């Protein structure tokens, strides 16, 4: 019986040792914090009085904060002034975390305690997270923890929660990682996620950060076609309010035809509002008052060919800029001669655009309810096309881009009333008769003038002959 009792005591002792060891292993947790943010460390104890201590390497634990009989006492560790204790849960909150705060945090009462290994990561984003399109994003991760230091694998998720593969510029594991992502776009704006994972010790932590790419909803060159005498409003939608851009920047709206003209100067204030600073005195344009919808506009009332050109909205930030262009092409139809078409007469219809067009665009005259012969197409890159018309009817001029109609204008040729036709015929006949009469009078006048000239010549010769005859007679008498 004594032997059995000794054996049973030994088994119980071994079981207690294994249980204490397992409890210690399970009590040691791993946690990651980010510099500049706060972290909450959980305490397993629920006693009234607890004490939080901090230990780094072989240095003896030092008191961070203590809760005793309902009162809070702070120690002299570097994070004591930035620490708070929840009197109900006994959890520790460390504010404005620093990379030097990494180490072991111990929560306990007497000999019973639990410990947490806190790993602190310092996340640095180039340009403070503010970019222009085509900029490169550079992400630096500095890591600090107690030994053994984990080796992290890093996965980067963009604002659409898709995994992206950056270039690794520097990998000084386990302390420093430098990642680079090239050529950002405005659609990359939003909250990104960096996942840090380690197998030994087992750690997985998501760290979020914001990326803001200033720009326009559309940055590619747009071409707008408009009919003459219509009213057009060109607009550029900025994304700075949508992405929460709070930095100051300036902008311009320019119009380029033969030379560049600045129509508007503006800036964006720190509270996210657009403000006009200078407006052009050009009477061809109207600049509406800026609204709160982050849109820049220019209004063109009753546009003409002279309104055509390239309109550019430009944003400038830190001596760098991004721009969005809209090319305005004005289309016009006309007739020569204008007005009703007399019977038997001919009219020329002209369709033209204000500027050169790409090779995939052409103009096309087409008679409504006409035949294939009533179609006239411009040659490649021609800016105008004309068609000869001898009968009344409606004609359409289409502007075609890759066989898609972008704009269509019509011109109705009206037949002149009969009396106008007779009047025109009478005018034509009268003009012919008058011309004939004038020609006859001219001929008669020319013949009369020719006869007078010949008569004058004969008289001049006669006088000369008489003069010569008299001279001869005088000489004969003197000789006698």
Residue keyed to tokens 């720190």? 270
Rg (CA), the chain: 48
State residue 69's pLDDT score: 86
Question: Is 175:89 a contact under the CB 8 Å cutoff?
Answer: no
Q: Taking a C-beta distance cutoff of 8 angstroms, is the pair 91, 44 a contact? A: no
- Phi and psi at residue 201, to the nearest 5°: -70, 160
Task: Report the SS3 class of residue 419.
Answer: helix
Ramachandran class of 302: left when φ > 0, alpha when ψ lies in -120 to 50, beta otherwise: left
**Torsion over CA: 242, 219, 404, 393 (sign):** positive
Within 8 A by CB and 6+ apart from 41, the residues are 31, 52, 91, 92, 93, 94, 105, 107, 116, 118
For 229-252, give one letter per residue: b (16+ CB within 10 A) or e. eeebebebebbbeebebeeebebb
Q: What is the pLDDT of residue 130?
A: 93
**DSSP letters spanning 254-321:** EEESSSEEEEEEEEE-TTS-EEEEEE---TT-B-PPP-TT-EEEEEETT--GGG-EEEEEEEEETTEE
What is the C-alpha separation between 121 and 98, in angstroms, rounded? 9
Whole-structure pTM value: 0.73
pLDDT of residue 198: 87
Query: In tens digits, what is the pLDDT along the chain, a chain of 480 residues?
Result: 332 333 333 333 333 333 333 333 344 788 889 999 999 999 887 778 899 999 987 778 999 999 988 899 999 999 999 999 998 889 999 999 999 999 999 998 767 788 999 999 999 999 999 999 999 999 999 988 876 678 888 999 999 999 999 998 877 766 889 999 999 999 999 999 999 998 888 888 899 999 999 999 876 668 899 999 999 999 999 999 999 998 889 999 999 988 889 999 999 887 788 888 888 877 778 888 777 778 899 999 989 988 999 999 999 988 889 999 999 999 999 999 888 888 888 999 999 998 888 888 899 999 988 777 788 888 888 899 999 998 888 999 999 988 899 999 999 988 877 545 555 566 677 777 778 778 887 887 777 777 777 777 778 777 777 776 666 666 555 555
Contact in structure between 249 and 266 (CB atoms under 8 Å): no
pLDDT for 479 equals: 55
Q: Burial level of 2, CB count in 10 A (0-12/13-18/19+)? A: exposed
pLDDT value at residue 221:
67
Domains of the chain: 29-213 (2.60.40.10), 222-329 (2.60.40.10), 337-413 (2.60.40.10)
């Amino acid at each position: 019986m004594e032997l059995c009792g000794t054996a049973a005591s030994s088994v119980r002792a071994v079981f207690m040792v294994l249980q204490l060891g397992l409890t210690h292993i399970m009590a040691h947790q791993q946690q990651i914090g980010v510099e500049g943010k706060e972290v909450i460390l959980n305490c397993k104890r629920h006693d009234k009085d607890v004490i939080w201590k901090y230990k780094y390497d072989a240095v003896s634990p030092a008191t961070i904060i203590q809760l005793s009989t309902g009162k809070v006492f702070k120690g002299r560790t570097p994070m004591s002034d930035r620490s708070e204790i929840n009197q109900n849960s006994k959890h520790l909150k460390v504010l404005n975390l620093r990379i030097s705060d990494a180490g072991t945090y111990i929560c306990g009462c007497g000999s019973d305690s639990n410990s947490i290994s806190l790993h602190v990561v310092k996340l640095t984003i180039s340009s403070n997270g503010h970019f222009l399109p085509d900029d490169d994003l550079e992400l630096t991760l500095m890591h600090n923890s107690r030994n053994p230091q984990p080796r992290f694998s890093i996965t980067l998720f963009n604002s659409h929660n898709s995994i992206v593969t950056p270039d690794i510029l520097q990998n000084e594991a386990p302390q420093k990682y430098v990642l680079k992502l090239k050529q950002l776009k405005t659609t990359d704006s939003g909250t990104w996620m960096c996942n840090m994972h380690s197998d030994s010790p087992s750690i997985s932590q998501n760290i979020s950060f914001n990326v803001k790419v200033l720009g326009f909803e559309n940055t590619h060159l747009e071409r707008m076609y408009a009919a003459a005498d219509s009213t057009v409003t060109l607009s550029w939608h900025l994304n700075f309010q949508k992405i929460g851009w709070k930095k100051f920047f300036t902008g311009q709206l320019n119009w380029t035809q033969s030379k560049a003209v600045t129509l508007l100067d503006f800036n964006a204030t720190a509270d996210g509002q657009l403000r006009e600073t200078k407006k052009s005195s050009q009477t061809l344009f109207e600049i509406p008052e800026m609204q709160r919808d982050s849109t820049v506009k220019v209004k063109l009332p009753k546009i003409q060919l002279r309104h055509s050109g390239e309109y550019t909205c430009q944003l400038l930030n830190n001596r760098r800029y991004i721009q969005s262009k809209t090319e305005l092409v004005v289309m016009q139809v006309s007739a020569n001669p204008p007005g009703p078409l007399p019977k038997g007469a001919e009219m020329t219809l002209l369709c033209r655009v204000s500027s050169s067009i790409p090779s995939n665009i052409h103009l096309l005259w087409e008679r409504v309810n006409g035949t294939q012969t009533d179609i006239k197409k411009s040659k490649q890159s021609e800016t105008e096309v004309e068609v000869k018309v001898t009968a009344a009817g409606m004609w359409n001029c289409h502007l075609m881009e890759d066989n898609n109609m972008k704009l269509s204008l019509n011109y109705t040729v009206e037949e002149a009333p009969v009396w106008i036709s007779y009047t025109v015929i009478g005018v034509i006949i009268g003009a012919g008769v008058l011309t004939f009469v004038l020609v006859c009078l001219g001929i008669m006048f020319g013949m009369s003038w020719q006869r007078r000239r010949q008569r004058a010549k004969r008289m001049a010769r006669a006088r000369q002959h008489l003069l010569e005859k008299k001279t001869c007679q005088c000489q004969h008498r003197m000789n006698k």
